[in-house]
Amino acid sequence: MDRGQDFLKSQINNAVMQHRTFLKNLEDHEGQAEDPRFRDLCSRFIPQVREHQRMLEQYQMSIGAEAGAGKKALGAALGFARDLADAARESDFLRLVGDIVTSRQSEDTFKTFREAGRVLGDAQLAQIGEMGERHHDEYAKEANRLVQQMFVEHVRGTDPTMSASQLGDATTPRTTL
């Protein structure tokens, strides 16, 4: 395993690739979403995620950690695998579940950057970590609320676009599934 600056560079490169995947997911899902709530969630968080990506890439350049051709090829292969996985997940529910998992991975990475930046006296790394962790936590909270609503709607067989009067008994809470 790398040590010193080489370790920092490799971890930043990994974070850039992983976070780029999350950003691409949100952008793709904004266009693919049938559920307007999911589309809105993506739309509201894309600007923040783009800003995180910009900050990560700027930091990557400042420490001389630009990903080489091998890293870019790996990133492209991971992106292709993600596209195939998304094609298989043809529901907003499953896409959102995947986005939550990816966001939590980024949140954990940002938390590590925040704390490491503080310990190492690297204010830029700490700031990137703090902002990214906070925004990913906000995303995950909202996304989890939505996925829970979608889960209940799927179990009940209700359509989220139906009005309350159309739902009738479907909105009555049930004690058993």
Closest CA to 168 of 159, 177, 149, 145: 159
- Kindly list the domain boundaries of the chain, sorted by start residue: 4-157
Across 4-11, average pLDDT:
93
CB 122, CB 62: distance < 8 Å: no
What does pTM read for this prediction? 0.78
pLDDT band at 158 (very low <50, low <70, confident <90, very high): confident
Distance CA 117, CA 128 (A): 9
Which amino acid is residue 176, in one-letter code?
A: T
Both tokens of 44, joined, read 């509201």
- For the cut 80, the answer to whether the pLDDT of residue 84 exceeds it is no
Q: Give the chain's mean pLDDT.
A: 84
Domain 4-157 CATH class label: mainly alpha
